[in-house]
Amino acid sequence: MNRDEMLKRESESWDAFREVLEAVPAAARTEEGVVPGWSTQDLVWHCAYWTDYTGSVLERIAGGEADPADTSAEEAEILAQGRTLEWDDMLARAEQARERMRAAALGLEELTPLAVEWIEGDTFEHYEDHAAQIQAFIAARG
């Protein structure tokens, strides 16, 4: 998959993820159980965090680091941060994370295997996996 195809898939997957989010009643956004101990809001913030982190990895690759060291936060810390945000602010930050990742991907001279791995695993595959979990949660709620 080339860069344009990857970015197209990221965009389409994000749009599909947003459609799923629109189906979540406001009162259910922070209800745990989408996955054990996690709410819809937790999963959205989780995706936003990792998309932003992917942007930072791609920026470091563009800066000459062949294999940037992992400096990500612990998952509990990520979730705690997301739980302090209002829904609309969290979605705005998710959009900013996407913009950062997309700009960083476009700024790469070439898509290295590591860059491809990060983009695939922490953007569109991530959105698709969590969208399915959220859909199942909504269906189970009736």
Residue 80 lies in a domain: yes
Kindly report, residue by residue over 55-82, the tens digit of the pLDDT.
999 999 999 988 888 888 898 999 999 9
pTM of the predicted structure, to 2 decimals: 0.95
Average pLDDT over residues 37-49: 96
Neighbours of 27 (CB within 10 A): 7
Single out the residue of 46, 51, 48, 22 nearest to residue 35, CA to CA.
46
| Residue 24 within any structural domain of the chain | no
Residue 27 falls within a domain, yes or no? no
Higher pLDDT: 70 or 105? It is 105
For residue 61, what are the domain limits? 3-9+41-141
Supply φ then ψ for residue 25, to 5 degrees.
Answer: -60, 145
Mean pLDDT of 33-61: 96
Number of structural domains the chain divides into: 1
**Using 50, 70 and 90 to split pLDDT, how confident is the model at 32?**
very high
51 falls within a domain: yes
Residue 70 pLDDT: 81
Q: Is 79 contained in some domain?
A: yes
- Residue 71 has a pLDDT of 82
The amino acid occupying position 128 is: E
DSSP 78-109: HHHHHTTS-HHHHHHHHHHHHHHHHHHHHH-S
* Residue 28 pLDDT greater than 90, yes or no: yes
Q: How buried is residue 5: exposed, middle or buried, by Cβ count under 10 Å (0-12/13-18/19+)?
A: exposed
